[in-house]
Amino acid sequence: AIVPSEFNIDHDHIPVIACNRDLVFKAAADLPRFGHGAFLTCLETLYKNLSGNDLKYTAFV
């Protein structure tokens, strides 16, 4: 559901730079852990649901 608002127009947002977009990773622990990609996925979904627009970001590997 998109939150109805006069602000839900297509406009630019502050620059977002994503690095290390891995969803999960394995460290010294045996269980996988969420990586920065999990946060980015949440951020994209929240932004889309609230604004109705896609989040634009620059990704560095």
pLDDT at 5: 60
| Extended strands (E) in the chain | 17-19, 24-25, 33-34, 58-60
**pLDDT tens digits, the chain, 61 residues: what are they?**
455 566 555 567 788 888 888 888 887 888 888 888 899 999 999 999 998 999 999 988 7
pLDDT at 10: 59
pLDDT at 2: 52
